[in-house]
C-alpha cells in the first residue's frame, strides 16, 4: 500500500452514509498521533469559556484527579470510534457520558460548543501540522460523525456541515472567552499533567512548548504571558518537520486506537467502560470510581 492509497479509498466512500468508516480511517490509520494532540487541545480550549472552566474547577476532577479524568475521557470517546454507535461498547460509553453530564447544570450552548471543538480543532491542527490536509470527504464525515454523537447526547440545534461547526465555534469563542480564576487552575493542572508524561528535567520545556501552541485568544483568557518568537518558532517548526518525516513513512498497517496511547496510565489491569468516569450526585463534586478489569458486559 502506498502513502495516499487510504485517501483514495476514502474518496470512494459516501461521507453522509459512510462517515463512521471514514472517520475511523482518518483517526486510527492516517493521523492517530495528530488527532490525539488535537483533541487534547480541543478540550483545553473549552476551559476558556468561564461557565465551562468554572464548573470543571468546582468538580475538582481536572485539578485533583487529572490523569484519571484524561484517561476516562479518552477511553469513552475512543470506544465509540472503535465499535460504532450501535454497538454494546458504543452505547455503554455514550450512556456513561450522558449520565455524567446530566448531573450538572450545563447549558445546551456550552455542550454544542464543546462538540464544535472536536470538529474544528483537529482540522485546523492538521492544516498546520499534519502530513497532509484533510480532504473534503473527511471534513464532511467528521461533521457527520460528531453531529451523530451530539444527537445521541441530546444536544439541540446541532450544526450540519463543517463550515457550520466552524462558524458556531468562532462566534461562541468571540462572545464568551474570558478570565476565570477556577478555569486558570484547571488550565495549570492540565499543563502540569502533560508535563508529567515526560522525564522531570523536561517539565519546563514541555510546559513552554504547550504554551507556544496556544493562540493569542487563549493566552489572553488565561492571562498567560505570550511566548516569544523563538519558543513559538522552535515548537511549531519541530511539528512541521515531524509532518514532513511522517509523509515519507509507509502507511500504517493496523489501526491505532486511543486506548493504546502511552498517555493512558490509569488502567494497566484493564477496565470496564461502565465503570469509567464519575458517579456524581447533582449538586456535588462527584466521587472516585472503581477500576475494574472484568470484560465488558452487555448494556441493558
- In tens, the pLDDT along 210-258 reads 999 999 999 999 999 999 999 999 999 999 999 999 999 999 999 999 9
- pLDDT score of 281: 62
CA distance 37 to 205: 17
- The C-alpha torsion from 119 through 106 and 92 to 168, rounded to 10°, is -20
Evaluate if residue 287 carries a pLDDT over 80.
no
- pLDDT score of 285: 42
| Helix then strand then coil, % of the chain, to nearest 5 | 65, 0, 35
Contact present, 78 and 96 (Cβ < 8 Å):
no
- pLDDT score of 282: 53
CA distance 155 to 153: 6
Contact present, 278 and 289 (Cβ < 8 Å):
yes
Grid cell of 273 as nine digits: 467502560
Cell 463550515 maps to which residue? 163
In eight-state DSSP terms, residue 262 is T
In eight-state DSSP terms, residue 253 is S
- pLDDT score of 280: 73
CA distance 99 to 25: 29
**Distance spanning both ends of the chain, measured CA to CA:** 42
Q: Where are the extended beta strands (E) located within 111-218?
A: none
Averaged pLDDT, 126-150:
98
Grid cell of 196 as nine digits: 508529567
- pLDDT score of 279: 83
Taking only Cα atoms into account, the Rg of the chain, rounded to an integer number of angstroms, comes to: 19
- Global pTM? 0.91
Evaluate if residue 94 carries a pLDDT over 70.
yes
> For the purposes of burial, counting CB atoms within 10 Å of the CB of 16, is it exposed (0-12), middle (13-18) or buried (19 or more)?
exposed
CA distance 289 to 62: 14
Residue 12 region by backbone torsions, left for phi larger than 0, else alpha for psi between -120 and 50, else beta: alpha
| SS3 (DSSP) at 192 | helix
CA distance 228 to 214: 12
Q: How far is CA 141 from the centre of its chain?
A: 17
* Count helices and strands in the chain by DSSP H and E runs: 14, 0
Averaged pLDDT, 273-286:
71
- In tens, the pLDDT along 36-64 reads 999 999 999 999 999 999 999 999 989 99
- pLDDT score of 241: 98
- With b meaning 16 or more CB within 10 Å and e meaning fewer, what string describes 262-273? eebebbeeebbb
Contact present, 52 and 110 (Cβ < 8 Å):
yes
Amino acid at each position: 500500500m502506498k502513502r495516499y492509497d487510504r485517501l483514495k479509498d476514502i474518496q470512494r466512500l459516501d461521507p453522509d452514509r459512510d462517515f463512521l468508516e471514514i472517520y475511523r480511517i482518518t483517526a486510527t490509520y492516517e493521523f492517530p498521533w495528530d488527532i490525539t494532540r488535537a483533541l487534547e487541545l480541543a478540550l483545553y480550549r473549552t476551559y476558556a469559556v468561564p461557565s465551562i472552566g468554572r464548573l470543571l474547577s468546582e468538580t475538582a476532577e481536572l485539578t485533583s484527579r487529572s490523569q484519571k479524568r484524561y484517561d476516562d475521557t479518552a477511553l469513552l470517546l475512543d470506544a465509540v470510534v472503535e465499535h460504532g454507535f450501535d454497538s454494546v461498547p458504543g452505547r455503554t460509553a455514550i450512556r456513561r457520558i450522558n449520565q455524567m453530564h446530566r448531573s450538572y447544570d450545563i447549558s445546551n450552548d456550552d455542550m454544542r460548543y464543546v462538540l464544535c471543538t472536536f470538529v474544528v480543532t483537529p482540522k485546523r491542527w492538521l492544516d498546520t501540522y499534519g502530513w497532509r490536509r484533510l480532504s473534503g470527504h473527511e471534513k464532511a464525515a467528521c461533521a457527520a460523525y460528531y453531529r451523530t454523537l451530539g444527537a445521541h447526547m441530546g444536544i439541540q440545534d446541532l450544526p450540519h456541515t463543517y463550515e457550520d461547526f466552524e462558524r458556531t465555534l468562532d462566534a461562541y469563542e468571540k462572545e464568551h472567552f474570558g478570565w476565570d480564576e477556577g478555569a486558570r487552575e484547571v488550565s495549570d493542572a492540565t499543563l502540569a499533567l502533560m508535563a508529567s508524561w515526560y522525564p522531570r528535567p523536561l517539565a519546563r520545556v514541555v510546559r513552554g512548548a504547550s504554551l507556544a501552541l496556544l493562540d493569542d485568544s487563549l493566552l489572553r483568557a488565561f492571562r498567560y504571558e505570550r511566548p516569544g518568537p523563538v519558543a513559538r518558532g522552535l515548537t511549531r517548526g519541530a511539528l512541521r518537520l515531524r509532518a514532513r518525516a511522517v509523509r515519507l513513512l509507509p502507511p500504517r498497517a493496523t489501526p491505532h486506537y486511543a486506548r493504546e496511547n502511552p498517555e493512558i496510565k490509569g488502567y494497566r489491569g484493564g477496565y470496564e467502560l461502565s465503570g469509567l468516569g464519575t458517579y456524581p450526585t447533582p449538586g456535588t463534586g462527584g466521587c472516585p470510581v472503581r477500576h475494574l478489569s472484568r470484560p465488558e458486559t452487555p448494556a441493558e
